[in-house]
Chain A
């Protein structure tokens, strides 16, 4: 049973524009969420996180928004750069285990 869902398998964005990656979850007990970026043949790299006591967290070009009532979070990348092209995973922490979505493959074109 997939408790974290990323419904867009892929996204293509032009360099300099905003990339918005979406994630939905079903378990209302989740209270900490993370985004990871993964290049081929590498492990996931931690990007940014957000606790359920906040609705926004920003780190440079990356901002994560959390809407608890809708059980939805999103990752905004502004401006997008070609080096951002990778697979992005949303994850929810259930105390020790991370529950991952299936990922969204982002392609940033020049």
Chain B
């Protein structure tokens, strides 16, 4: 296993369209996280899963954002009715889920909404 992978790496979409991103975590990791990074900022936490359970989703940016991890392995992040302000890098990370463990990040999906 070479690390966290994300697909696609780049996505260009028109305003109003729906987009879905996929994340495959490191296979031994129980926790999976989604972050968003905009220009000049550090990554901003969105949501996370412990196995298939979504334990925190209050920081998803709006009700247009949703995430799933149906079988506790890969996860998807969907943005409905995209807006230009959604343009950002969407990062996925995974960890073992023990106290004070490191999160390992994927390469990210760069979303551009035109």
Q: Which residues of A contact B (CB under 8 A)?
A: 4, 31-32, 34, 36, 41-46, 49, 51, 89, 91, 93, 96-103
Contacts and interface: CB of A to CB of B under 8 A. Distances in A.
A89 B102 contact: no
A43 B102 CA distance: 14
B107 A43 contact: yes
A51 B45 contact: no
Contacts of B110: 41
B102 A44 contact: no
Interface of B: 4, 6, 31, 33, 35, 40-45, 48, 55-56, 59, 91, 93, 100, 102-108, 110
B43 A96 contact: no
A63 to B, nearest CB: 17
Contact of B105 (A43, A49, A93): A43
A103 B42 contact: yes
A102 B56 contact: no
Contacts of A91: 42
A100 B107 contact: no
B43 to A, nearest CB: 5
Contacts of A89: 42-43
A46 B59 contact: no
B100 A51 contact: yes
B101 to A, nearest CB: 9
Contacts of B59: 97
A88 to B, nearest CB: 10
5 contacts: A4-B42, A43-B6, A44-B105, A45-B105, A98-B43
Contact of A93 (B55, B56, B100): B100
Nearest to A42: B107
A96 B100 contact: no
A31 B99 CA distance: 11
Contact of A98 (B40, B41, B45, B108): B45
